[in-house]
Structure 1
Amino acid sequence: MAADQAGPVVTTPYGAVRGRYERGIAVFRGIPYAAPPFGPLRFRPPRPPEPWDGVRDAGAFGPTAPKPPYSEAFARYLSDPDIPGDDCLNLNVWTPEPGPGARLPVLVWLHGGALTRGSSAVPVYDGGTFARDGVVCVSVNYRLGVEGYGLFPDAPPNPGLRDQLAALLWVHETIAAFGGDPDRITLCGQSAGAISAGALLAAPRTQGLIRRAVLQSGPPEVSDRDKVRRVVRRMAARLKIPATAEAFAAVDRGLLLRTQAEVGRLGSPVLGGPAFGIVVDGDLVPGDPLKALAEGTAARDAELLMGWTRDEYRLWLVPGGLLERVDRLGAVALAGAMARCHAGHDIPRGYRVLHPGAGTAEIVGQMVTDHLLRVPLHRLADARPGASYLYEFAWPSRLPGLGACHALELGFVFDTGDVPESEKLAGAGAPQELCDAMHTAWVRFAATGDPGWAAWDATHPVRIFDGGEPRVACGPRDAEVALWDTASAVPEPPRHSVPRAPGAELASAVRRLRRSVDALRR
């Protein structure tokens, strides 16, 4: 490492970069880890960047991947900077001690956003707080939406996930020059970033690269290929072009993003519908990552820190007044949730018994959250006792109706609860003691593999972060999870099949609820 009056200089495999010192932390932003994914590289796996001569300035965040903006209802709560430019496959490094020899633990952050939005430039993700506490932090931009997860007959699947792999390989090869230890990499993500982290942790090509992983509000999973194809086909129908990568590459980028946003209105995390996702590709993702991790055929020795927020679903139901609409729809909304989860009638009955004062929206939200998130994480922890640590974030936002919603924990993990972008979701005055507790647990886990409470065992310990004194509850979600193990469930219909009566009434209910969602989003 060298330094001059402008800041620290580090040499990467493709050229030297000059960062900045901020509050005693060396920060390098916008470092390219792959070539711009456009022109002949569009919809293709990432390629190495072109080397550069001299010292490249790394003082500002690089371009973000193409993405549509959040709707007005969601933009009130979530920030998503849009930085123009083609060189969007870039990353940022915060380090307290640039230069070889420090061998500090490394945390690699994958942002969320349903694989369609988000970036490493969100101020909540300021890695300087981790560097301040002795952890080198790296945050990554990757392709999103149809550019990163469209499924085409003439292009390889999962280019966005392949971007993340390229970034991970860059970190493993280069991070020692920034003071990090390539043998102590923790891969951390939230929501879609957690799903991505789980897929990479299970990938044969990453074995030996990842020491441990943090999965926040996202389980290891893959999407049905037909579901992803439907998004592409609906976009193609609106654009009046073939559903091929070649045809999509010829479309104006702005028009492509607007079309993607229009089609995306028809789905939601609660109700399902067509959506982009990681798919089994026989290469990077050879099979179900949850199964590989649970059976110990992948990342056998990796420690896992996993968890959820108490009221995940409220981020999708509160904006635009959908929470009240679901309560008014009553049985129709419940039918939609049952279809989404392929659940029999015993499961909602069980939730009514466990939560006798809950309204329909809460029952629907908790059912879907448990089915998609808590049940798979429980089962993964059961398969890896002694190496899994679970948490629940239960502190409610100070903003009306949000509760402990999806993404609320991020300002606490990064200890950035006082930045305006965190306050958009949490409100003003987030308790600093909760920031300290949660951030310290993540730092400890990245450094040692132990966040500070008991590992998962037969008693099912879960660390509850709620703003009070630190506490561990044993099996706080066991009763709900047990419903999915014991209650009758509706078998998932075979792919390509068309549901027949008596499922027609249920399908009609789901369509009615989706129309209500679409009306609110307009």
Structure 2
Amino acid sequence: MAQHPEHPVVSTAPGDVRGLWRGEPGAPGASAAFLGIPFAQPPVGDLRFAAPVPPEPWEGVRDALAYGATAHRIDPGDTLIPEPAIPGDSTLNVNVFTPAPGGDARLPVMVYIHGGGYVAGSPASPWYDGRSFNRDGVVTVTLSYRLGFDGFGHIPGAPSNRGVRDWLAALEWVRDNIAAFGGDPARVTIAGQSAGGGAVLTLLGMPAAQHLFHSAWAMSAALADVAPERARTLSAKLAHLAGVTPNRDGFASVPEKTLHDLQHDAATPDSRDPLAAVHVILDDGLSWGPMIDGELLTQPTVASLAAGVGSDKPLVLGTTDDEFTMVTDSARGKLRLVPASFALGKLKLPRGARRAYLAANVAQRRKGTAAVLGRYVTDVVFRSDVVRVAEARGDARTWVYRFTWVSPTRGWALHCLDVPFWFDCLDAEGVTALAGDAPPRRLADAVHGAAVGLVRDGDPGWPTWAEQPGATRMFGGEASRPDVDPDGYRSVRSLVAGPTAWA
């Protein structure tokens, strides 16, 4: 097939797609982008709450020159990661970035799943451009999926976990088509951050997904594992707010925007307690996200990993040090005179556990009660799961890290701060707001280099948890040598119950 020098054409199963070269083809650092390729039909009309359906074939060459429509519909304003909302119905699409389109390069592949609490987020973020991975010989794919109630809500008469099924369908598309973009379908790494990291762990613990990838990297993973009864309760509450019968026909009669607006109200506790929403997160977790449906997900993710699912696949996981502290920091003045132990008691942490936790977090306690509360929520929601997952996997190859570098603009090693270092996109739109005008180049080299090491060689470059239990790679500052703490997550061990809690 004839190729225009600026627009490479690749043949996929449904039809040919036309991409765009960035840089001179064949020159160092050049890569091609193929954007908005559908992996499923638009989830509208009769397909709105259906499992994803393969796209209809097309004739001729389809332009893949601009990002496709996103399930993320509303521009939320100033977010930590730029998240474009692109209108349109065809929201189930992939973006492919490759240095070798149309060839037989058989390069390793990295498939990235965006975050956003399972209710927001966009695969069209400029931070997720794969050009730096392409430079290092890795084909990169970003994917979209249905969000919030449309993707994860319990609907009698509709398939469960539709967003999870979207992940599976996108990975099946990668398996069937990525060779045409120069990728090797036998060397696929899945990666993601926040809800995307939770998606990675969910897929790693899911028997139905095991044939679709070969290694995994989970950043700041937010697991959902919504219990069936809670999913049913939320669905009934949403139906009541919408004034419809809680079944497929009832929900299908409600416009997408209306359900989007109401899903927040359905998940918000009916309480005047200002800490009620925090209690829901600490006690029950996220409201919308993968649920235990008895089909795709038969048990909580950590229990599945402890049972050996995914044990043949290398995994890297870790967090930033203060994922949530930016939120509590806004109340620093009000909390200045409140004892940390008293404040933790308000979050229902028992007295004995409070003493153990504060003793393990002396340095954080010196920063004030707001800092302690932020770290505690960070530990419950994010950091304690790192230890649970690493220990649940036993002898499986598992590497653990912490991202400790503090944002010069926000004052914490906060949620999302590690993402531009991982993608090595320090010059991308919006990075300076989070990482300042001079983010350390060596830190990006270290974090991104570790990611490439896993994707390309199956090893990020430091000892596994099984080899040295507790071993944690510390990513922070300008250090060029790997800095490994022998027990980097010691401060959360008082919150980790033990193996009997995984069942």
Query: Same fold per TM (> 0.5)?
Result: yes
Match of 1:501 in 2: none
Alpha-carbon offset, residue 167 of structure 1: 0.2
The letter for the 2-side match of 1:31 is I
Whether 1:475 aligns to 2:484 is no
Q: 1:109 to 1:236 in 2, by over 3 A?
A: same
Distance in 2, matches of 1:344 and 1:68, equals: 40
- Show the 5 A alignment for 1:308-457: 308-318=319-329, 321-322=330-331, 324=333, 333-338=343-348, 343-354=349-360, 355=362, 356-382=365-391, 383-385=393-395, 387-401=397-411, 403-456=412-465, 457=467
* Identity across the alignment (%): 38
Counterpart contact for 2:228–2:293, Cα < 8 Å: no
Paired position in structure 1 for 2:246: 243
Secondary structure (helix, strand or coil) at the match of 2:478 reads coil
- Mapped partners of 1:15, 1:458: distance in 2: 49
Q: Deviations over 1:96-128 (max 9, x none)?
A: 111242110000000000000001101111111
1:248 Cα offset (Å): 1.9
Alpha-carbon distance in structure 2 between the residues aligned to 1:79 and 1:322: 26
State which of 34, 39, 44 in structure 1 corresponds to 2:40. 34
Q: 1:322 to 1:45 in 2, by over 3 A?
A: farther
Tell me which amino acid in the other structure corresponds to 2:21: Y
Q: Aligned partners of 1:271 and 1:69: how far apart in 2?
A: 28
Aligned residue for 2:347, secondary structure, equals helix
Residue by residue, what CA displacement relative to the aligned partner does 1:50-103 show, whole Å, maximum 9, x if unpaired?
A: 111100000000000044443x5xx25342211000000000000111124211
Distance 1:326 1:9, change over 3 A: farther
Change (3 A) 1:34 1:305: same
- Measured in 1, the distance between the counterparts of 2:87 and 2:331 equals 33
The whole-number CA distance in structure 1 between the counterparts of 2:328 and 2:97 is 35
8 Å Cα contact 2:75-2:84 kept in structure 1: no
Does residue 209 (structure 1) correspond to residue 218 (structure 2)? The answer is no
1:300 is aligned to 311
SS of 2:437's partner is: coil
Equivalent in the alignment of 1:222: 225
The count of aligned residue pairs is 478
Secondary structure of the 2:211 match is coil
Equivalent residues of 2:224, 2:287 under 8 A apart: no
Deviates more, 1:6-15 or 1:112-121: 6-15
Q: Is the alpha carbon distance of 1:157 and 1:64 closer, same or farther for their aligned partners in structure 2, counting shifts above 3 Å?
A: same
TM-score, normalised with respect to structure 2: 0.89
Instruction: Report the CA distance shift for 1:232/1:196 in structure 2 as closer, same or farther (over 3 A).
Output: same
Summarize deviations over 1:378-425 as a string: whole Å, max 9, x none: 132233346111110011111134x00111100100011222222232
Alpha-carbon contact 1:270-1:316 (below 8 Å) kept: no
Which secondary structure state, in structure 1, belongs to the residue aligned with residue 312 of structure 2? coil
Query: Given that residues 31 and 90 in structure 1 are in contact (C-alpha distance below 8 angstroms), is that contact kept between their aligned partners in structure 2?
Result: yes
Deviation at 1:309, TM superposition (A): 0.4
2-side partners of 1:206 and 1:91: how far apart?
A: 18
C-alpha RMSD of the superposition: 2.5
How far is 1:152 from its partner? 1.6
Is 1:82 aligned to 2:85, yes or no? yes
Q: Scaled by the length of structure 1, what TM-score is found?
A: 0.85
- The amino acid across from 2:427 in the alignment is D
Alpha carbons of structure 1 residues 271 and 329: separation in structure 2 relative to 1, 3 Å: farther
Q: Which residue of 2 aligns with 1:187?
A: 190
| Aligned amino acid, residue 369 of structure 2 | T
Query: Equivalents in 2 of 1:173, 1:419: separation in Å?
Result: 31
Aligned equivalents of 2:259, 2:388: Cα separation in 1: 39
- 1:137 corresponds to which of 137, 140, 151: 140
Q: Structure 1 pair 328/182, CA: closer, same or farther in 2 (3 Å)?
A: farther
Determine the C-alpha separation between the residues in 2 that align with 1:255 and 1:84.
16
What aligned pairs does 1:12-161 form with structure 2 within 5 A after superposition?
12-23=12-23, 24-70=30-76, 75-161=78-164
- C-alpha displacement of 1:468: 2.8
- 8 Å contact 1:67–1:144 — kept in the other structure? no
Shift of 1:322: 4.4
In the TM superposition, what are the counterparts of 1:273-292 in structure 2 within 5 Å? 275-292=287-304
Please list every run of 5 or more consecutive structure 2 residues that lacks an aligned counterpart in the other structure. Answer: 24-29, 270-276
Q: 1 CA distance for matches of 2:149 and 2:326?
A: 24
Partner of 1:461: 471
- 8 Å Cα contact 1:18-1:59 kept in structure 2: yes
List gaps (5 residues or longer) in structure 1: 492-522
Could you tell me whether the CA contact under 8 Å between 1:347 and 1:484 is conserved in 2?
no
How far has the Cα of 1:208 moved from its partner? 2.4
Distance 1:100 1:244, change over 3 A: same
Q: Give the distance between the partners of 2:204 and 2:435, measured in 1 at CA.
A: 31
Contact 1:114 1:191 in 2 (8 A): yes
Q: CA deviation at 1:204?
A: 1.7
Q: CA deviation at 1:377?
A: 2.1
1:255 match = 258
Structure 2 distance, partners of 1:177, 1:260, is 40
Deviations 1:298-342 (A, max 9, x none): 222100010000111124435xx345556677677423433xxxx
The DSSP-based 3-state class of the residue aligned with 2:221 is coil
Moved more, 183-192 or 284-293: 284-293
